[in-house]
Amino acid sequence: MLIRIDADSTRPLFEQIAASVRAEVLAGRLRAGDRLPAAREVSEAIDVNVHTVLRAYQELRSEGLVDLRRGRGAVIAATAEPLAVLADDIAELVRRGIRLGVAPATLAALVKEVAP
Amino acid sequence: MLIRIDADSTRPLFEQIAASVRAEVLAGRLRAGDRLPAAREVSEAIDVNVHTVLRAYQELRSEGLVDLRRGRGAVIAATAEPLAVLADDIAELVRRGIRLGVAPATLAALVKEVAP
DNA sequence: CAATTGTTCTAGTTATCCTAGAATAACTGT
DNA sequence: ACAGTTATTCTAGGATAACTAGAACAATTG
């Protein structure tokens, strides 16, 4: 399955769902134009409420990663393509962090903090 | 003030407080051995409950960024030094992301996702 | 010994997350 | 034009996490 969640994690379900999709795009397994399974489908497959899945999809839309329209579903946006380009840079940063004893979660918090 | 928060943000207060400290360490304005203001002090300064401040401090301790002991207070740990080394790499990644239209928040979510 | 500082405990309020069901609107393919 | 698919919006309730408040306590410092 494309989307996986860990029910035991304290991380919100909608966040985990969105993270799954981001990771797929980053890895290049999902590309612009590819369609995500309908929210109802995902809902049944992973046993989570439809609203929760849709919230994840809407978060991805607000990031510009997917186009989301009724009747049509969720489709990876063209704006998402650059993500795959960053994959190596991100992996490299995480490697360096780990070598220095900095956890990815700490690193992520730092990235979020940097003011452009 | 060293620690700043945005009461209107949806991000938890204790997270914002911890993020402030991380950012200071990253920027090199806080270094190993430097002492953070006492929790009660911060509490009054930014008008947030003491427990909330302490929770932020404890999160930083669990990351190995500060030493936290009663009677003594919170002191930047030696293990936090490597953070400053990563500052340039992080800034560079964020720059590239922005040039490609990827928001720092999205980038952060990706960093958190990478499996070591 | 006195002052400082984090730790632990109980307790109550508020916000967020998740679930549930139903009606509605936009789009697709026939 | 029509039927089917899909997201959108609404109301509602329960569970969990965040925040606040006050108090007593233990370790450290000077």
Which residues bind near strand D, taking a CB cut-off of 7 Å? A 10, 36, 38-41, 50-51, 54, 57-58, 61, 68-74; B 12-15, 47-49, 51-52, 55, 69-72
> Cβ contacts (< 8 Å) between A88 and chain B: which residues?
none
Going residue by residue through chain B, which has 116 residues, state the pLDDT in tens, using 9 for 90 and above. Answer: 689 999 888 899 999 999 999 999 999 999 999 999 999 999 999 999 999 999 999 999 999 999 999 999 999 999 999 999 999 999 999 999 999 999 898 999 999 888 65
Question: Nearest CB to A111: which of B18, B65, B108?
Answer: B108
Q: Which residues contact A111 (CB under 8 A, 6 or more apart)?
A: B90, B93, B94, B104, B107, B108, B111
Q: How far apart are CA A33 and CA B99, in angstroms?
A: 22
Structure pTM? 0.91
- Which tokens belong to B16? 């914002």
Q: Show the tokens assigned to B63.
A: 């990351």
Q: State the residue for tokens 């806080």.
A: B30
Residue B41 CB in 7 A reach of strand C: yes
From chain B, the residues in CB contact with A76 under 8 A are none
Q: What are the tens digits of pLDDT across the range A34-51?
A: 999 999 999 999 999 999
Strands in chain A per DSSP E: 66-69, 73-76
User: pLDDT tens, A90-112?
Assistant: 999 999 999 999 989 899 999 98
- Rounded to whole angstroms, the Cα distance separating B72 from B57 reads 13
